[in-house]
């Protein structure tokens, strides 16, 4: 008999075989999951609901944030007062935030002690671990006219919410709270949350971008560490000198390659007198000589000197920032990176001012805020919560690494193991030159970035020249800026 | 003579009971369809004529979104990428899984084990598949480039290359084609044994039996897999979102991803609804063309 002929008796997939196949297939991922990383299981020993450990409601805490420590700290701090009176009867407010599992334990402890101080205010927390999911969820809720009483806001969202009359201005509440020290906040970084003289958001965290360096790589090459005197040219020259190796072992002089991101202008163009967009984000300026010169310098550093990671090399690195793994000598990032760097022992690191250019030194101050939606039915209670959460005391209690309250920097740095000299540097930069100037914040910012980025990627791949790429960016981005005209 | 009067259909107790049962059984699907599919479909038509960012009331703009779409170079770019991906993944997927089904239809030892192994990728979650293929396609230590290097060929950058990103995604799409393979296997087992015996008596060799018996008898199944595979590939974007986010340089910006970006990154709901209707029109048009072409190559034994 021909072997190609189907043997129906033997080949038939009867119900029992199909069931066995399905069970076997389903068992594989389950067994695989059982054999996975046990370290994470140990960390999250408590029952988990939606990614957040289920905590004892009477003594919330875990290994990272023991209840006893939180209680002692809470009792040692002086909590600020406001002239806004507590509600006479029970009210409930909803607080929506994006938070990781670890920080959420601390936030739950904050709420626990807050409720002790304000027994008539019930706090319901809504948490989204992903910032993108958070925005999608609350945009959908906004369409339905239902928003929380207190809501997290990324700096790039707030102007869109303000333009669409979603937020309630906070100036009256601030004026009813004499102890609310506005001078303790980075005033130059409030622009994200202001419009027409009104303040719609108050920052939770705010940090400038700094130049980080790998001290070991500098010492090995016998090159002096970067300092305040450095210029962009000197940083690029040094990046060329410190680039070595190939493949997975390659060390880059600088990382990452600048791309059309919201803070492209202050970090890479304004030191040369250029800008991506003009100040009110209504016109594209990237084709002008100053900006084109700066972009060209970086493109040369990538294509000619190969001193910054290319797109292919980024895939090689699995999109992990090479500086964090000791494979880049210099890196510009937000000051919040200090927390992560302080925990690693693989290499010696340092941080200093971003380099200056012929037109000066610029760096963005970026962070997030809490806002109060206009639809809130319990605005007074919402303010009482915001006030304590955003106070220096609140930020010290929460031990966040880049507190918007300047008075919280040193105590938090000490608690988190961040070198005091770096904490002082951050405060100095925030007070001196970090600002919102040049950072895209108006409604079209995502469209602008997503439109310009693929064009710039083609330039990074060598598929188009600098002039053509910048002209194409200008042509395609210009029509999008009409969305930034806010009435 | 007494005339016998039959009760009219639907008027007997049995017919009414049957009708009640019928509507009882279909009602979960019907209610779900009306609430979760038909409602949004109708809403999407209306929204496509509006400017709506979710934060303010929708504003009627007539055909403005449709005019914008026809003049949008990114829309046309995404259509081109979608067709490249669709044609590539369907051609490779349908051919590869058909050959695989033929092999797994052979009476071999451990046949059940082989079938299980080949089906396993279909039960792996999308994100795990994406992470796995990011490693397989890794330019330096990825399996594919390692194999190419053994043959003296320097592999491309795959997902970091504008030219190779779509072919890389097409390769990956075959990975989860276990369901297609199962459908082929069922089809192969339904071919009457007598046809092969008759062909053998007529002196037909292996190739002739395959080409003149297996392929025509399997053509309705192949057609089904081509139609459903093409529709799925036109709509697919999740793995592409995870793996490339449409890059590099928009090389993998497919229509599904472009709709997602407009809806859930820009919250430009009117335009996203318009693009969704464009996708629907494309799916219908492509499917109609496939049905028209099917007259020339699909063989139905019983009509």
Sorted by where each begins, the domain ranges of chain A are: 48-207+366-424, 208-365+435-484
Q: Name every chain B residue with its beta carbon within 8 A of the beta carbon of A463.
A: 162, 249
Q: What sign results for the dihedral spanned by CA atoms B208, B214, B220, B223?
A: negative
CA-based nearest distance A195→chain B, Å:
17
Q: How many other CB atoms are there within 10 angstroms of residue A367's CB atom?
A: 23
User: Beta strand pairing status for A349-352 and A201-214?
Assistant: antiparallel
Tokens of A313: 């090399």
Q: What is the pLDDT of residue A487?
A: 59
Contact present, B111 and B191 (Cβ < 8 Å): no
Q: Give the pLDDT confidence of A118-152 residue by residue, as tens digits.
A: 999 999 999 988 898 999 999 999 999 899 999 99
User: In sequence order, what are the residues at sequence separation of 6 or more whose Cβ sits closer than 8 angstroms to the Cβ of residue A33?
Assistant: none
Q: Are the C-beta atoms of A347 and A216 separated by less than 8 Å?
A: yes
Report the pLDDT value the prediction gives residue B4, as an integer from 0 to 100: 59
Is B247 in contact with A457 (Cβ distance < 8 A)? yes
Contact check, Cβ <8 Å, B107/A457: no
Instruction: Give the model's pLDDT for residue A34.
Output: 32
Boundaries of every domain in chain B:
13-47, 68-297
Q: Are B279 and B79 in contact (CB under 8 A)?
A: no
| pLDDT band (50, 70, 90) for residue A236 | very high
**CB-count burial class (<10 Å; 0-12, 13-18, 19+) for B148:** middle
Residues within 8 A of B (CB atoms), A 132-191 only: 132, 136, 139-140, 142-143, 160-161, 164-166
Which residues 94-133 on chain B approach chain A with CB closer than 8 angstroms? 105-107, 111-112, 115-116, 119-120, 122-125, 128
Interface of A with B in 372-431 (CB under 8 A): none
Residues of chain B positioned with their CB less than 8 A from the CB of A447: 266
Q: Between residues 266 and 295 of chain B, which touch chain A (CB distance below 8 Å)? A: 266-267
DSSP type of residue A354 = P
CA A60 remoteness from chain centre: 27
CA angle B228, B229, B234 (to 5 degrees): 100
E-strand ranges in chain B read 50-51, 59-60
- The answer for A 9-28 residues in CB contact with B (under 8 A) is 10-13, 17, 20-21, 24-26, 28
pLDDT of residue A21: 40
The pLDDT tens digits for A146-164 are: 999 999 999 999 999 999 9
- Say what the pLDDT of residue B7 is: 60
Q: Cβ separation of B209 and A4 shorter than 8 Å?
A: yes
Q: A208-365+435-484: which CATH topology?
A: D-Maltodextrin-Binding Protein; domain 2 (3.40.190)
Given a contact cutoff of 8 angstroms between Cβ atoms, the answer to whether B52 and B231 are in contact is: no
CB A244 within 8 A of CB A250: yes
- Longest alpha-carbon distance in chain B: 95
Tokens, residue A338: 């200090």
Cα A131 versus chain centre, distance: 9
Query: How many angstroms separate the CA atoms of A400 and B99, rounded?
Result: 58
Angle at alpha carbon of residue B57, lines to B282 and A172, rounded to 5° = 140
Output the pLDDT for position A172.
Answer: 96
Dihedral sign (CA A89, A90, A95, A101) = positive
How many helices (H) and strands (E) chain A has is answered by: 20, 13
Chain A residue with the nearest C-alpha to that of B107: A7
The residue behind tokens 């399996």 is: B143
Q: Two tokens at B209?
A: 């039996």
SS3 A154: strand
pLDDT at B303: 53
B160–A25: do the CB atoms touch at under 8 Å? no
Q: What is the pLDDT of residue A51?
A: 55
Compute the radius of gyration of chain A from its Cα atoms: 26
Q: Minimal CA–CA distance to A102: which of A153, A43, A184?
A: A43
How close, in Å, is residue A311 to chain B by CA atoms?
A: 6
ipTM above 0.95? no
In angstroms, what CA-CA distances link B96 with A312, B90, B142, B175, B220?
29, 10, 22, 10, 17
Beta-carbon count within 10 A of B123 CB: 15
Looking at residue B8, what is its pLDDT? 64
Topology (CATH level 3) of domain A48-207+366-424? D-Maltodextrin-Binding Protein; domain 2 (3.40.190)
Instruction: Please identify which residue in the block is written with the tokens 């001078």.
Output: A183
CATH assignment of B68-297, among 2.40.110.10, 1.10.260.40, 1.10.3720.10, 2.40.50.140: 1.10.3720.10
Mean pLDDT throughout A250-254? Answer: 96
Query: At residue B140, does pLDDT exceed 90?
Result: no
CA B102 to mean position of chain CA atoms? 21
At residue A246, the pLDDT reads 85
Which pLDDT belongs to residue A47?
41
Structure tokens at B87: 């044609």
Contact criterion met (CB below 8 Å) for B77 and B250? yes
Asked if B266 lies within 8 A of A318 by C-beta distance, the reply is no
Q: Please determine, for residue B110, whether its predicted confidence score (pLDDT) is greater than 60.
A: yes
Residues of chain B with Cβ-Cβ distance to A29 below 8 Å are: 123-125, 128
Could you give the angle at which helices B73-104 and B165-175 cross, rounded to 10 degrees? 40
Closest CA to A255 of A219, A212, A222, A300: A212
Strand pairing class (A150-154; A194-195):
unpaired
Q: B271 vs A17, which has greater pLDDT?
A: B271
Q: CA-to-CA distance for A485 and B3, rounded, in angstroms?
A: 84
pLDDT digits (tens, 9 = 90+) for B214-252: 999 999 999 999 999 999 999 889 889 988 999 899 999
Q: How confident is the model at residue A19 (pLDDT cuts 50, 70, 90)?
A: very low
Of B117, B301, B116, B106, nearest to B210 by C-alpha is B106
Contact A92, A144 (CB under 8 A): no
Q: What is the pLDDT of residue A271?
A: 98
Amino acid B2: pLDDT: 54
pLDDT for res A26:
37
Unique residue bearing structure tokens 């920097």: A409
Residues contacting residue A197 through CB under 8 Å, at least 6 positions apart: none
Judged by CB atoms closer than 8 Å, whether chains meet at A164 and B134 is answered as no
Cα-Cα-Cα-Cα dihedral of B43, B45, B49, B55, to 10°? 30
The torsion region of residue A346 among left (phi > 0), alpha (psi -120 to 50) and beta comes to alpha
Question: CA-to-CA distance for A336 and A204, rounded, in angstroms?
Answer: 13
CB contact under 8 A, A461 and B139: no
Q: Are strands A363-371 and A201-214 parallel, antiparallel or unpaired?
A: antiparallel
Q: Which residue has the higher pLDDT, B8 or B105?
A: B105
Kindly give, in sequence order, each residue whose CB lies less than 8 Å from that of residue A326, ignoring residues fewer than 6 positions away: A214, A216, A217, A346, A347
pLDDT value at position A89?
96
What pLDDT does residue B23 have? 93
**Nearest alpha-carbon partner for A370 in A140, A236, A173:** A173
Are the beta carbons of A445 and A280 closer than 8 angstroms? no
pLDDT at residue B3 above 90? no
State residue B9's pLDDT score: 60
The whole-number pLDDT of residue A317 equals 74
Instruction: Locate the chain A residue with the closest alpha carbon to B197.
Output: A5
pLDDT grade for B134, boundaries at 50, 70 and 90: confident
pLDDT at A52: 59
Up-side HSE of residue B216: CA atoms within 13 Å toward CB? Answer: 13
Chain B nearest CA to A193, separation (Å): 17
CB A331 within 8 A of CB A321: yes
Structure tokens, B253:
């910006």
pLDDT number for residue A45 = 36
Q: What is the pLDDT of residues B176-189, one digit of tens each?
A: 788 899 999 999 99
DSSP secondary structure string for all residues of A366-432: EEEEEE-BTT-S-HHHHHHHHHHHHSHHHHHHHT-SSBSSGGGHHHHHHHHT--HHHHHHHHHHHHH
Per-residue model confidence as pLDDT tens digits over A443-479: 999 999 999 999 999 999 999 999 999 999 999 999 9
Mean pLDDT of chain A: 88
Q: Do A461 and B116 touch (CB under 8 A)?
A: no
> How confident is the model at residue A9, as a pLDDT?
37
pLDDT of residue A36: 31
Cα–Cα distances (Å) from A69 to A88, A105, A255, A430, in that order, read 32, 13, 39, 31
Share of chain A above pLDDT 70, in %: 89
Q: Is A209 helix (H, G, I), strand (E, B) or coil?
A: strand
**pLDDT tens sequence across A370-420:** 999 999 999 999 999 999 999 999 999 999 989 999 999 999 999 888 888
Are the CB atoms for A380 and A84 separated by under 8 Å? Answer: yes
The pLDDT of residue A33 is: 31
Is the Cβ of B217 closer than 8 Å to some Cβ of chain A? Answer: no
The Cβ-side half-sphere exposure at A177, using a 13 Å CA radius, reads 24
Angle at A169 between CA A154 and CA A400, to 5 degrees: 40
Q: Percentage of chain A surpassing pLDDT 90?
A: 74
* Residue-wise pLDDT tens digits, A39-86: 333 333 344 445 556 788 889 999 889 999 999 999 999 999 889 999
Any idea what DSSP says for residue A86?
P
What single string gives the DSSP state of each residue in A440-486? Answer: --STTHHHHHHHHHHHHHHHHTTSS-HHHHHHHHHHHHGGGGGGG--
Q: Cα dist. A125→A16, A49, A97, A139, A148 in Å?
A: 48, 13, 8, 18, 9
Q: Give the pLDDT confidence score for residue B117 in this predicted structure.
A: 87
To the nearest 10 degrees (0 to 180), the angle between helices B255-264 and B73-104 is 130
């Amino acid at each position: 008999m021909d072997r190609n002929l189907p043997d129906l008796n033997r080949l038939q997939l009867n119900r029992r075989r199909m069931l066995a196949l399905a069970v076997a297939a389903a068992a594989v991922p389950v067994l695989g999951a059982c054999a996975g990383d046990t370290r994470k299981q140990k960390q999250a020993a408590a029952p988990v609901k939606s990614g957040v450990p289920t905590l004892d409601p009477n003594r919330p805490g875990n290994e990272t944030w023991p209840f006893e420590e939180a209680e002692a700290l809470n009792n040692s701090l002086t909590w600020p007062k406001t002239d806004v009176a507590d509600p006479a009867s029970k009210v409930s407010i909803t607080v929506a935030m994006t938070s990781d599992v670890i920080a959420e334990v601390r936030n739950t402890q904050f709420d626990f002690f807050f409720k002790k101080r304000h027994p008539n205010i019930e706090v319901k927390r809504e948490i989204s671990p992903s910032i993108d999911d958070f925005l999608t969820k609350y945009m959908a809720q906004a369409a339905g006219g239902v928003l929380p009483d207190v809501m997290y806001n990324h700096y790039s969202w707030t102007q869109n919410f303000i333009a669409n009359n979603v937020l309630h201005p906070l100036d009256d509440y601030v004026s009813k709270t004499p102890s609310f020290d506005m001078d303790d906040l980075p005033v130059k970084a409030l622009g994200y949350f202001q419009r027409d003289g009104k303040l719609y958001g108050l920052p939770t965290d705010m940090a400038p971008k700094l130049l980080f360096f790998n001290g070991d790589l500098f010492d090995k090459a016998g090159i002096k560490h970067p300092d305040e005197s450095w210029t962009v040219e000197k940083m690029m020259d040094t990046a060329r000198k410190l680039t070595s190796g190939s493949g997975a072992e390659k060390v880059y002089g600088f990382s990452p390659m600048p791309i059309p991101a919201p803070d492209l202008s202050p970090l890479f163009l304004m030191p040369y007198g250029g800008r991506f967009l003009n100040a009110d984000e209504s016109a594209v300026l990237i084709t002008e000589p100053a900006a084109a010169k700066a972009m060209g310098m970086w493109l040369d550093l990538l294509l000619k000197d190969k001193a910054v990671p290319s797109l292919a090399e980024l895939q090689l690195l699995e999109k992990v920032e090479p500086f964090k793994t000791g494979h880049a000598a210099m890196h510009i990032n937000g000051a919040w990176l200090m927390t992560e760097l302080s925990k690693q022992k693989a290499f010696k690191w340092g941080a200093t001012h971003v380099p200056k250019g012929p037109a000066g030194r610029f760096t963005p101050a970026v962070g997030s805020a809490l806002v109060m939606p206009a639809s809130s039915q319990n605005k007074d209670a919402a303010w009482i919560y915001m006030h304590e959460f955003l106070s220096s005391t609140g930020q010290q209690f929460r031990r966040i690494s880049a507190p918007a309250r300047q008075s919280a920097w040193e105590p938090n740095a000490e608690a988190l193991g961040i070198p005091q000299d770096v904490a002082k540097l951050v405060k100095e930069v925030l007070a001196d030159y970090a600002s919102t100037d040049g950072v895209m914040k108006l409604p079209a910012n995502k469209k602008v970035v997503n439109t310009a980025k693929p064009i710039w990627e083609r330039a990074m791949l060598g598929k188009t020249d600098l002039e053509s790429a910048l002209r194409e960016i200008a042509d395609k981005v210009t029509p999008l800026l009409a969305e930034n005209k806010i009435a | 003579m007494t005339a016998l009067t039959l009760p009219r259909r639907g008027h007997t107790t049995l017919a009414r009971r049957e009708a009640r049962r019928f509507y009882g059984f279909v009602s979960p699907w019907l209610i779900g369809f009306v609430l979760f599919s038909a409602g949004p479909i109708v809403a999407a038509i209306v929204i496509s004529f509006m400017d709506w960012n979710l934060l303010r009331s929708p504003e009627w703009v007539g055909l403005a979104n449709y005019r914008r779409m026809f003049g949008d170079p990114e829309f046309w770019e995404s259509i081109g990428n979608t067709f490249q991906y669709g044609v590539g993944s369907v051609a490779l997927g349908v051919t590869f899984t058909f050959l695989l089904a033929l092999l797994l239809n052979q009476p071999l030892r451990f046949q059940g084990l082989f079938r299980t192994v080949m089906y396993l990728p279909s039960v792996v979650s999308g994100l795990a598949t994406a992470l796995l293929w990011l490693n397989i396609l890794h330019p330096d230590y990825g399996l594919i480039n390692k194999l190419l290097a053994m043959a003296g060929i320097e592999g491309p950058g795959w997902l970091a290359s504008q030219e190779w990103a779509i072919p890389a995604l097409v390769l990956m799409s075959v990975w989860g084609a276990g369901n297609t393979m199962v459908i082929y296997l069922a089809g192969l087992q339904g071919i009457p044994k007598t046809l092969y015996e008759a062909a053998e008596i007529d002196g037909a060799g292996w190739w002739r039996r395959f080409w003149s018996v297996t392929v025509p008898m399997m053509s309705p199944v192949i057609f089904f897999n081509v139609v459903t595979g093409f529709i799925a590939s036109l709509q697919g974007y999740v793995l592409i979102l995870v793996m490339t986010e449409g890059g590099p340089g928009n090389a993998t910006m497919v229509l599904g991803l472009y709709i997602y970006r407009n809806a859930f990154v820009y919250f430009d709901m009117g335009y996203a609804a318009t693009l969704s209707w464009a996708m629907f029109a494309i799916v219908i048009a492509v499917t109609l063309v496939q049905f028209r072409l099917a007259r020339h190559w699909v063989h139905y034994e019983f009509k």
